[in-house]
Amino acid sequence: MAKAELMNYEKALEQFEVVIGLEVHVELNTKTKMFCGCKNEFGNEPNTNVCPICIALPGALPAVNKTAVESSIKIGLALGCDIQPTGRFARKNYFYPDLAKNFQTSQYDEPIAFNGSLEIEVPSGAVHNVLIERAHMEEDAGKLTHIGGATGRIQGAEYSLVDYNRAGVPLVEIVTKPIFGAGAEAPELAAAYVRSIREIVKALGVSDARMERGNVRCDANVSLRPHGTEKLGTRTETKNVNSLRSIERAVRYEIQRQAHILASGDTITQETRHWHEDKGSTSAGRPKSDADDYRYFPEPDLVPVQPSKELIESLRASLPEKPSDRRKRLAAEWNFSELEFRDVVNADLLDQIEETVAAGAKPQAARKWWMGELARIANEAGDGVELNVTPAQVAELAKLIEDGKINDRLAREVLGFVLAGEGSPAEIVAARGLEVVSDDGALIAAIEAALANAPDVIPAIKEGRMQAAGQVIGAVMKAMAGSADAARVRELLIEIANKAQ
Ligand SMILES: [Zn+2]
């Protein structure tokens, strides 16, 4: 396929207004599936968490998972939604081998939650009020693996394998109303919105919220219209984008691609699109079906969901603090500068730093390690690679430095061994003998050896020319292979100089 032509981003924004809409699927972490008692677990052998209900054998009847309903209500309440006092499930009819039933059990005209909003801050500091149209319950589909093609997609594959472990896993789909007015920051707003949803469902404890495992997935709708016009442009829907960075890139790409097409006088095809992380581009999927095409009808095998007022109010009372409140609280507790805090949020490291501080590290030390050395290593490892280090281990590393047991250079070395799976920082320091030499006798001997080669240093220090000390400190650090505490070496050197005749 020919590579699509793109319009320069700034030029595209000069000519068109961007309208986005976001659909986020959240996989709930209930113990069992939405309509049967099969385990809801990731990573098991294919087709081991299945039963007659989730593979739709004749006569099998579903029953609704109570915890999944409660989790969905919690999500709705956290998004400021109204909760439907009575709602039915619906069948969304389609044929595809990823669901054995030939329909997906979903909600259509009676979603569990509707009419919410969420305040989202973008990197520039501007705050957008994103309106939520609805949040509804549904089941996930199974996983298809296409074998034999070059791309892993169905096109060109020789055969496909199906794993129904995920079929019937509870999902909540959260749909925004069209979002206007984000302008050049629409891609960043899309990513920040998904980040907030992820924070909310994580704080609620209703999802593992791991994007790399597909627990939170985003479909991004993008359309353009000439400035000053009313009518919405034709939209495309880029499916299943599963990292924050990809969401930002995919929205930006679609803006540039559509702007080029519209400016050439052509029309946009209403369709789904696939995001290709490696190429940084989208490609056409299938023509987007309208809701009518799915022949939704009420699910006859399930009774309506009717949460009592008492249940809703008790769930409301159990909600954790809002992400925006949490940020304000953390910013005040940590005492970071506004820029430092925003960088942490944008690097998506709020949780890690909070947990590291909770494990005993000073906020600035936690920030320094996650934003510095660990960010560098993560960057080199590439997208989606998880570093093998826990916040508790980073806190332990920071404590070792604070106690003077290791210096920064040794700490970086220790961190390398932690990432390689050798154990906790303290274990590694003990096992590898990496502790800084705090025995003054050994330091004094090394200082005296260095002074023997630099006879001018003591007179210089006595005359107050402290920069002369650097030469000796450097020589001691080198002789002790970095395991000396430079500050202590300096103190001892000054003592020696003061005692010298
Ligand atoms: Zn089952």
- pLDDT band with cut points at 50, 70 and 90 for residue 433: confident
Backbone phi, then psi, for 61, in 5-degree steps? -120, 135
**Rounded mean pLDDT of the chain?**
91
The confidence score (pLDDT) of residue 2 equals 56
Condensed to tens digits (0 to 9), the pLDDT of residues 216-225 reads 999 999 999 9
Of the candidate ranges 88-92, 128-132, 154-158, the one whose mean pLDDT is the lowest: 154-158
**Confidence band (pLDDT; 50, 70, 90) for 154?**
confident
CA distances from 116 to 77, 151, 306, 314, 446 (A): 8, 39, 20, 19, 68
Tell me, in angstroms, the distance from the centre of ligand 1 to residue 75's CA. 24
- Per residue in 159-216, pLDDT tens? 999 999 999 999 999 999 999 999 999 999 999 999 999 999 999 999 999 988 889 9
Tokens 């992380």, located at residue: 277
Ligand 1 mean position, distance from CA 34 (Å): 9
DSSP run (H or E) holding 258: helix 244-263
Say what the pLDDT of residue 418 is: 93
What is the whole-number distance in angstroms between the Cα of residue 280 and the centre of ligand 1?
37
How many angstroms is it from 65 CA to the middle of ligand 1?
A: 12
Model confidence at 350: pLDDT above 60? yes
pLDDT for the residue 29:
97
CA distance 337 to 298: 54
At 254, the pLDDT band (50, 70, 90 cuts) reads very high
Question: So what's the pLDDT on residue 409?
Answer: 83
Spatial distance between the Cα atoms of 133 and 477, rounded to a whole number of angstroms: 63
Distance 458 CA to ligand 1 centre (A): 80
Query: Looking at 126-140, 239-253, 261-275, 421-435, which range is the least confident one?
Result: 421-435
Maximum mean pLDDT: which of 35-49, 118-132, 267-281, 420-434: 35-49
Sheet of strand 271-276: strand arrangement:
82-83, 113-121, 127-139, 170-176, 16-27, 216-226, 236-241, 271-276, 281-287
For residue 37, how far is its CA from the centre of ligand 1 (angstroms)?
A: 6
pLDDT number for residue 460 = 87
Length of the chain: 501
If phi > 0 it is left, if psi is from -120 to 50 it is alpha, else beta; for residue 406 that is: beta
94-142: pLDDT as tens digits: 888 899 999 999 999 899 999 999 999 888 889 999 999 999 999 999 9
Q: 166 CA distance to ligand 1 centroid (A)? A: 10
Could you tell me the distance, in angstroms and rounded to a whole number, from the CA of residue 138 to the centre of ligand 1? 15
| CA separation for the pair 147, 137 (Å, rounded) | 32
Distance 59 CA to ligand 1 centre (A): 13
pLDDT at 383: 67
Q: What is the mean pLDDT of residues 6-23?
A: 97
**With bands split at pLDDT 50, 70 and 90, how would you rate the model's confidence at 296?**
very high
Dist. CA 107 → ligand 1 center (Å): 20
Please report which residue ranges of 205-242 form alpha helices under DSSP H: none
Q: Cα separations (Å) of 140 from 76, 98, 137, 165, 170?
A: 19, 9, 10, 10, 6
Q: 36 CA to middle of ligand 1, Å?
A: 5
451 CA → ligand 1 middle, Å: 77
Q: Rounded to the nearest whole angstrom, what is the distance from the C-alpha of residue 57 to the centroid of ligand 1? A: 10
DSSP 470: H
For residue 216, which amino acid is it? V
List of E strands, 122-215: 127-139, 143-147, 159-163, 170-176
More confident residue, 277 or 37: 37
Q: Are 349 and 319 spatial neighbours (Cβ–Cβ below 8 Å)?
A: no
Among residues 36, 63, 64, the alpha carbon closest in space to that of 50 is found at 36
Residue 339 has pLDDT above 60, yes or no: yes
| pLDDT tens string 439-448 | 788 888 888 8
Q: How far is the CA of 39 from the centre of ligand 1 (A)?
A: 8
Q: What value does the mean pLDDT take over residues 240-254? A: 93
52 C-alpha to center of ligand 1: Å? 6
Q: Measure 108 CA to ligand 1 centroid, in angstroms.
A: 23
pLDDT of residue 38: 98
What's the CA-to-centroid distance between 20 and ligand 1, angstroms?
A: 36
Distance 40 CA to ligand 1 centre (A): 9
C-beta separation of 476 from 446 below 8 A: yes
